[in-house]
């Protein structure tokens, strides 16, 4: 056989995608929402929409990565006012937007414990579900402002709360489902928090008097948390886009523009 002229079988081309979880020092739950398939087969643009825990502990090197390598220009901060004061951050080149939602579930848990209540994991789950239900209408204004931020510019944006799991998780759910990402994919992304988020040492110390089973509910996510808000939205409005239109004020034209901006 003439090996010089033998046909060489074509080799498959390796396909690589950007990393979803980005290990920025000072955070543990910084993630890219890119790559998920949405409306008309379009995919969410990579390196444009990020979700995270808070940014107050970012190192100088991580700040440079955020601004220069990732090009992030804006942050949407869902933390309550006290949270934003205690863990304040101001990063030159990053436009900070406060969309404050107070962490009522933690406050209620502490109050019950201070009153001598025996707070169980099951009761804590109920508190978490109440919190998610409050997102639908009580905090609709903040989520409406979040969507207005998205429509104002397609410059890369990070949105976050303290742990990047509940307020951030609901914002990500609304955004992804408005872009047509299927529910099961959205739930999968939501649950990634349990893989990446690590409770900081100071939080563990401050909550040393709280039973660990309760802390495991407060500092993690469960699908029933998300379902507590998502199911009523679907039952009352038929779909997330319909809810976003009727409650958050983004009509079909605005949602189409959102898809043009963030799907490719």
Using the predicted structure, report yes or no on whether residue 10 has a pLDDT greater than 70: no
In a domain, 237, yes or no: yes
Using the predicted structure, report yes or no on whether residue 112 has a pLDDT greater than 90: no
Q: Which of 52-56, 109-113, 136-140, 172-176 has the lowest mean pLDDT?
A: 109-113
Instruction: Give the C-alpha separation, 76 to 59, whole Å.
Output: 19
What average pLDDT is seen over the chain?
Answer: 91
Contact 244, 178 (CB under 8 A): yes
- Confidence class for position 5, pLDDT limits 50, 70, 90: very low
Share of the chain above pLDDT 90, in %: 79
Instruction: Give the C-alpha separation, 261 to 264, whole Å.
Output: 8
Q: In what order do the strands lie in the sheet with 49-52?
A: 31-32, 49-52, 157-160, 74-77, 95-98
Instruction: Give the C-alpha separation, 244 to 148, whole Å.
Output: 12
In a domain, 143, yes or no: yes
Instruction: Give the C-alpha separation, 167 to 101, whole Å.
Output: 8
pLDDT in the model for residue 16: 56
Place of tokens 């379009």: 42
In a domain, 2, yes or no: no
pLDDT digits (tens, 9 = 90+) for 193-224: 999 999 887 666 656 677 889 889 989 999 99
In a domain, 25, yes or no: no
User: Secondary structure of 57-94 in the HEC alphabet?
Assistant: CCCHHHHHHHHHHCCCCEEEECCCHHHHHHCCCCCCCC
pLDDT in the model for residue 215: 87
Mean pLDDT (whole number) for 145-160: 98
pLDDT in the model for residue 109: 72
> Rounded to the nearest 10 degrees, how much is the dihedral formed by the CA atoms of 132, 52, 54, 158?
-100
CA-based nearest residue to 183, from 142, 223, 236: 223
CA-based nearest residue to 133, from 219, 236, 215, 53: 236
In a domain, 194, yes or no: yes
In a domain, 21, yes or no: no
Instruction: Give the C-alpha separation, 11 to 5, whole Å.
Output: 17
- Helix, strand or coil for residue 221? coil
> Rounded to the nearest 10 degrees, how much is the dihedral formed by the CA atoms of 74, 77, 82, 88?
-30
Q: How many domains does the chain have?
A: 1
Using the predicted structure, report yes or no on whether residue 152 has a pLDDT greater than 60: yes
pLDDT digits (tens, 9 = 90+) for 14-28: 445 689 999 999 999
pLDDT in the model for residue 8: 45
* Sequence-ordered list of residues with C-beta below 8 angstroms from that of 145, at least 6 positions apart, any chain: 97, 99
Using the predicted structure, report yes or no on whether residue 1 has a pLDDT greater than 60: no
pLDDT digits (tens, 9 = 90+) for 34-89: 999 999 999 999 999 999 999 999 999 999 999 999 999 999 999 999 999 999 99
Q: Give the structural domain span for 234.
A: 31-262
CATH number at residue 78: 3.90.190.10
Contact 78, 84 (CB under 8 A): no
Beta bridge partners of 31: 21, 51
pLDDT in the model for residue 232: 98
In a domain, 20, yes or no: no
């Amino acid at each position: 056989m003439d090996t010089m002229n033998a046909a060489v079988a074509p080799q498959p081309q390796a396909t690589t995608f950007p990393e979803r979880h980005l290990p920025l020092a000072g955070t543990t739950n910084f993630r890219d929402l890119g790559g998920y398939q949405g409306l008309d087969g379009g995919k969410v643009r990579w390196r444009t929409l990020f979700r995270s825990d808070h940014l107050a502990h970012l190192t100088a090197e991580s700040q440079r990565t955020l601004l220069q390598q990732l090009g992030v220009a804006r942050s949407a901060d869902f933390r309550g006012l006290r949270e934003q004061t205690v863990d304040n951050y101001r990063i030159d080149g990053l436009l900070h937007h406060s969309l404050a939602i107070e962490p009522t579930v933690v406050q209620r848990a502490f109050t019950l414990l201070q009153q001598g209540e025996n707070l169980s994991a099951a009761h804590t789950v109920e508190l978490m579900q109440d919190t998610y239900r409050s997102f639908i209408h009580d905090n609709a204004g903040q989520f409406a402002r979040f969507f207005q931020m998205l429509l104002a510019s397609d410059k890369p944006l990070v949105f976050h709360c303290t742990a990047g799991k509940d307020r951030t998780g609901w914002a990500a759910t609304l955004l992804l489902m408005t872009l047509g990402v299927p529910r099961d994919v959205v739930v999968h992304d939501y649950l990634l928090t349990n893989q990446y988020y690590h409770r900081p040492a100071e939080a563990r110390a401050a909550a040393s008097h709280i039973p660990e089973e309760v802390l495991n509910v407060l500092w993690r996510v469960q699908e029933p948390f998300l379902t507590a808000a998502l199911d009523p939205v679907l039952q009352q409005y038929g779909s997330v886009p319909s809810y976003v239109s009727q409650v958050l004020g983004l009509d079909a034209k605005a949602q189409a523009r959102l898809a043009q901006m963030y799907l490719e």
